[in-house]
Amino acid sequence: MKKTLFILPIIVIIYFLFFNHKDSRLEYEDFLLSQYKNIPSHTEEELKNIPKPEHPHMATFQNFFMSVDPKLGYVPSERLHDALLETRLIQQQQEPNRRVTWQNVPSNMGGRTRAIMFDPNDSNNRKVWAAGVTGGLWYNENITDESVQWQPVNDFWDNLSVSRIV
């Protein structure tokens, strides 16, 4: 009987020490869910009527969720000044003449191409037109010759996105 009375409290203590703790991930999930309730809810109809740039509060909530410290439960803005000082220190320690210099070299490599077409006015079927996804209309006078470079139509086309060539 005394052994049973002695073993029972030990089992209860072991249970509470080892098996009755909440997972920190679940605690953080509960915290996020409680913070999520602070976001104003809109119906689908209200969201359609509100212009999209008029949702800065949603961007603020997203920024909060991305930068909140799980252990503290808030965004530690006091660390911002320390991070700024550390960044400046790293920049000062770098060599000042470590600038990247770019050189333009001839290249016969394409980027993402959205449209390509053989020139219907070329009887030899050698001239090819190509349009870039992010902009630009290019042509090659002789597609069968590897030494012939692609030429842009003009500087204006570099900024225009092309969806198709007709």
Whether residue 83 is contained in a domain is answered as no
Decide if 5 is inside a domain.
no
- Is residue 106 included in any domain, yes or no? no
CA nearest 28: which of 56, 78, 58, 70? 70
Q: Could you tell me if residue 107 is inside a domain?
A: no
C-alpha to C-alpha distance for 97 and 66, rounded to whole angstroms: 35
- End-to-end, the C-alpha distance of the chain in Å comes to 95
Give the count of domains, the chain: 2
Domain boundary among 50, 75, 100: 75
Residue 122 is assigned to a structural domain of this protein: yes
**Predicted pLDDT at 89:** 92
Write the burial class of residue 131 (CB in 10 Å: 0-12 exposed, 13-18 middle, 19+ buried). Answer: buried
pLDDT in tens, 86-137: 999 998 888 776 677 888 876 666 678 889 999 999 999 999 999 888 888 8
pTM, entire model:
0.38
Q: Which of 60, 75, 90 is the last residue of a domain?
A: 75
Tokens representing residue 147 in the block:
């030494």
DSSP-derived secondary structure letter, 39:
S
Taking only the tens place, the pLDDT of each residue in 40-71 is 777 888 877 777 666 777 788 888 888 888 88
Q: Which domain holds residue 143?
A: 113-159
Q: Does residue 30 belong to any structural domain of this protein?
A: yes
Question: Does any domain span residue 143?
Answer: yes
